[in-house]
Amino acid sequence: MPSTSGEKLLRLPPTVKPEERPDEIIARILPDTEDRRLLAQHLAQYGKNPEANWDDYRRKIPPALLAGLKEIGGEMRRNGFFGLGAEIDPSGRVRFTWWQAVDNRRKPPVIKGELCDACSRPCERKNSAGVFRDGARRCWQKEVSHNVKA
Ligand SMILES: [Zn+2]
């Protein structure tokens, strides 16, 4: 990242140390380049129109891509990334955008520093309110496999 003299480069620490970055998550869930391009185009199109309503817009997106989008969103939240969108640059290239939860040390962070804080993976170790039962291991504690229902 370029930095000019006199300008302090303040990088706030992320609240969660990610296990996977958004581009890795997106490529894992949508391995097909064409699927990724199409999803990014839809998100960019949706993002361009401030009047657009997601409940209406989502009907234009093929169901398989919508399912992928939902899974990507869940995996991103788990890793502390939010607000997946996309934009088209002047040369017509489309790229995904997102933001990362950071600790700004002023107000309490949205999530507090565990991969499971915003995790929406189905897990029998959580009770119906999404709270971990006592002694439950988290999905990133690798020695125990995650209870994902297929
Ligand atoms: Zn989890």
What pTM value is reported for the model?
0.77
- Residue 92 CB contacts under 8 Å (≥ 6 apart), including other chains: none
How far is ligand 1, taken at its centre, from the CA of residue 43, in Å? 26
Average pLDDT over residues 129-139: 76
Average pLDDT, the chain: 83
Q: How far is the CA of 80 from the centre of ligand 1 (A)?
A: 12
* pLDDT above 90 coverage of the chain, percent: 50
Distance 146 CA to ligand 1 centre (A): 8
Distance 75 CA to ligand 1 centre (A): 9
Confidence of residue 4 (pLDDT cuts 50, 70, 90): very low
What is the pLDDT, as a whole number, of residue 8?
Answer: 45
Going from the Cα of 48 to the center of ligand 1, the distance in angstroms, rounded, reads 33
pLDDT digit string, tens, across residues 19-73: 999 999 999 999 999 999 999 999 999 999 889 999 999 999 999 999 999 999 9
79 CA distance to ligand 1 middle (Å): 9
Q: What's the CA-to-centroid distance between 118 and ligand 1, angstroms?
A: 8
Tell me the CB-side half-sphere exposure of residue 32, using CA atoms within 13 A.
7
pLDDT at 116 over 90: no
In this predicted model, which residue has the larger pLDDT, 121 or 150?
Answer: 121
Per DSSP, the residues of 23-37 read HHHHHHH---HHHHH
Could you state, in order of their start, the residue ranges of all structural domains in the chain? 22-100
What is the predicted pLDDT for the residue at 47?
Answer: 92
Which pLDDT score, from 0 to 100, does residue 6 have? 39
Q: How far is the CA of 78 from the centre of ligand 1 (A)?
A: 7
Q: Tell how far the Cα of 16 is from the centroid of ligand 1, in angstroms.
A: 12
pLDDT grade, residue 105 (50/70/90)? confident
Contact at 8 Å (CB) between 103 and 141? no
CA distance 89 to 7: 27
Q: What pLDDT shows up at residue 20?
A: 95
